[in-house]
Amino acid sequence: MSSEKNLIENVSEKQTEYINLIAEIMEVRKRGEKPLAYIRTYGCQQNVADSEKIKGMLANAGFGFVDAPDDADFILFNTCAVREHAEDRVFGNVGALKNLKRRHPQILIALCGCMMEQEHIANIIYKSFPFVGLVFGTHSLHHFPELVYNSLVNGKRVFERGNDDSKLYEGLPIKRDGTFKGWLPIMYGCNNFCTYCIVPYVRGRERSREKDLIVEEARDMIKNGYKDITLLGQNVNSYGKTIENGVNFSQLLREIDSIDGDYWLRFMTSHPKDCSMELIDTIANGTHISRHLHLPFQSGSDRILKLMNRHYDRKKYLEIINYAKEKIDGLSLTSDIIVGFPGETYDDFKETLSLIREVEFTSLFTFIYSPRVGTPAAKMDDPIPYSEKSKWFQELLAVQEEIAAKRCASMVGNVEKVLIEDEGKNGILNGRTSGNIIVELDAPTDTIGTFQNVKITNARNWILKGELI
Ligand code: SAH
Ligand code: SF4
Ligand code: F3S
């Protein structure tokens, strides 16, 4: 781990040259009136944020964007490696492009993101998917235009995997998907090496962005009408550790929070081992900071937490939670849980159940353990069959459903500030509370993108129903 300052490199100028060259080439290669790109993103918000940079670069090269691959000149899948299921979906969807490429050989098909940083995956793509022309990992995002240019002019397949974490790249254009809800990366990579997790291997070591650049970006977003801004990192609580004389996460949060405007500030993901009481106080005293804490605990069993290399125990986790509940009015808690870690017994699993009963989370992201090549857990003895783990998983869902229903029912009668987000089925609009709970309501579509006061009239499982006041 480096305690030294990361070298910041502004790549804007060099990559702009390549963007202009791509624009010239695509004038000739495009199939329709303008070059079109189809970008599909798998995985977490970090990948979504990376795709927004890719779209920024492509937009500057004159590309328009389409929702299906058929008419596209450039197709890119930004992939996720966190579980086997995510990888299988990518293989299936890439395979389906074979005929399209046969019909239109000039299309460039590219794969990027976390899966592509793994050697065994890159090899499979190389051998089994010869119609894929460009493959690059998360470390290569900063020179995406150069890679595309090389693929277009050389007519050869370009494969690149990287591992240089010494630099932090700035200056890439961003085309955000949302106009009022946006992601703002504050750091990259992860140093924690939880034994089940592939992320540190595919995203590299932790690097924090300079505070002033983050605050400036937040200020711009707020000025441009963003109402819901989420600060992103694999472990935001350790923000600043790689910066000499840097501020900590609570200080960063307070500085952004002091920007005037009508907006919510969120962040993810928090790691319990680095979650300070200062952070809880910062949320409690904040003006714009949402009353929501996503604090993954993964397992309620101390024995399993140790095997997972999580560096906290159940007692420490509950201390943070109880302090947060006491300090933050109307706090909404969410978490990630893994069921069936190697060696987990039904007794360990029952500890997870008892923890979710004790905390009463609003919602949970629950996963069955998936072995990842190269991680320590993949080499551990794993005697419990998947079918048994699935039964535990169903039990967990049933318990959580009951808790979520109770939590949501307790909100009926409240008046909540809600950000109206989009139109769902039957013209019903969907919004979210500060605690990130979905609210369905009947309201005019011109309220989309605005805050409204909503009376909660009903609750169905983890979804609230309400009406405009
Ligand atoms: N950095 C975040 C989460 C990153 S991955 C954190 O530490 O909380 C998101 C979630 O995927 C994790 O919290 C974990 O619950 C789950 N996950 C990661 N690796 C997994 C694996 N091998 N099998 C099943 N779930 C996994
Ligand atoms: Fe994975 Fe752990 Fe890092 Fe989260 S903190 S990304 S679970 S290694
Ligand atoms: Fe997946 Fe990479 Fe995120 S592995 S969960 S897209 S950091």
**Beta strand pairing call for 332-339 and 292-294:** parallel
Does ligand 2 lie within 6 Å of residue 194's CB atom? yes
Which pLDDT belongs to residue 163? 87
Structure tokens at 7: 């070298």
Please compute the mean of the pLDDT values over residues 235-249 and round it to a whole number. Answer: 93
Cα 180 to ligand 1 centroid, rounded to whole Å: 28
Beta partners for residue 367, in sequence order: 338
Reported confidence tier of residue 2, pLDDT bands at 50, 70, 90: very low
Does ligand 1 lie within 6 Å of residue 314's CB atom? no
Which range is least confidently modeled, 2-6, 330-334, 397-401, 434-438? 2-6
Query: Ligand nearest 137 Cα, by number?
Result: 3
Which pLDDT belongs to residue 3? 43
Query: Backbone phi, then psi, for 463, in 5-degree steps?
Result: -115, 135
**Ligand 2 atom at shortest distance from the alpha carbon of 203:** 6
Cα 456 to ligand 1 centroid, rounded to whole Å: 33
Cα 302 to ligand 1 centroid, rounded to whole Å: 17
Please compute the mean of the pLDDT values over residues 261-284 and round it to a whole number. Answer: 97
Structure tokens at 313: 């125990």
Q: Closest Cα to atom 5, ligand 2: which residue?
A: 192
Please compute the mean of the pLDDT values over residues 438-462 and round it to a whole number. Answer: 95
Q: Closest Cα to atom 7, ligand 3: which residue?
A: 199
Query: Ligand nearest 370 Cα, by number?
Result: 1
Q: Closest Cα to atom 2, ligand 1: which residue?
A: 234
pLDDT over 70 (residue 457): yes
Please compute the mean of the pLDDT values over residues 9-36 and round it to a whole number. Answer: 95
Which pLDDT belongs to residue 159? 97
Query: Ligand nearest 336 Cα, by number?
Result: 1
Instruction: Express as a percent the part of the chain with pLDDT over 70.
Output: 99
pLDDT tens by residue, 40-91: 999 999 999 999 999 999 999 999 999 999 999 999 999 999 999 999 999 9
Which pLDDT belongs to residue 279? 98
Whether the CB-CB separation of 423 and 429 falls below 8 Å is answered with yes
Cα 296 to ligand 2 centroid, rounded to whole Å: 10
pLDDT tens by residue, 190-219: 999 999 999 999 999 999 999 999 999 999
Beta partners for residue 160, in sequence order: 136
Find the residues whose C-beta lies inside 6 A of ligand 3. 43-44, 46-47, 80-82, 114, 198-199, 202-203
pTM metric for this prediction:
0.96
Distances (CA, A) of 439 to 366, 424, 467: 22, 11, 9
Query: Ligand nearest 79 Cα, by number?
Result: 3
**Ligand 2 atom at shortest distance from the alpha carbon of 310:** 2
Beta partners for residue 337, in sequence order: 298, 366
**Around Cβ 370, how many Cβ atoms within 10 Å?**
18
Reported confidence tier of residue 4, pLDDT bands at 50, 70, 90: low
Structure tokens at 306: 């140790």
Does ligand 1 lie within 6 Å of residue 312's CB atom? no
- For 416-449, give one letter per residue: b (16+ CB within 10 A) or e: bebbbbeeeeeeebbbbbbbbbbbbbebeeebbb
Does ligand 1 lie within 6 Å of residue 372's CB atom? yes
pLDDT over 60 (residue 455): yes
What's the gap between Cα 25 and its chain centre? 33
**Which positions ≥6 away from 327 have C-beta within 8 Å?**
280, 281, 283, 284
| Whole-angstrom distance, CA of residue 159 vs CA of residue 161 | 7
Query: Backbone phi, then psi, for 266, in 5-degree steps?
Result: -120, 170
Which pLDDT belongs to residue 34? 96
Which pLDDT belongs to residue 5? 64
Instruction: Express as a percent the part of the chain with pLDDT over 90.
Output: 93
Reported confidence tier of residue 155, pLDDT bands at 50, 70, 90: confident
Please compute the mean of the pLDDT values over residues 166-195 and round it to a whole number. Answer: 96
Handedness of CA 445, 446, 451, 453 (dihedral sign): negative
**Ligand 3 atom at shortest distance from the alpha carbon of 82:** 4
Please compute the mean of the pLDDT values over residues 246-250 and round it to a whole number. Answer: 95
pLDDT over 90 (residue 7): no
| Whole-angstrom distance, CA of residue 38 vs CA of residue 66 | 5
pLDDT tens by residue, 436-449: 999 999 999 999 99
Rounded to the nearest integer, the mean pLDDT of the chain is 96
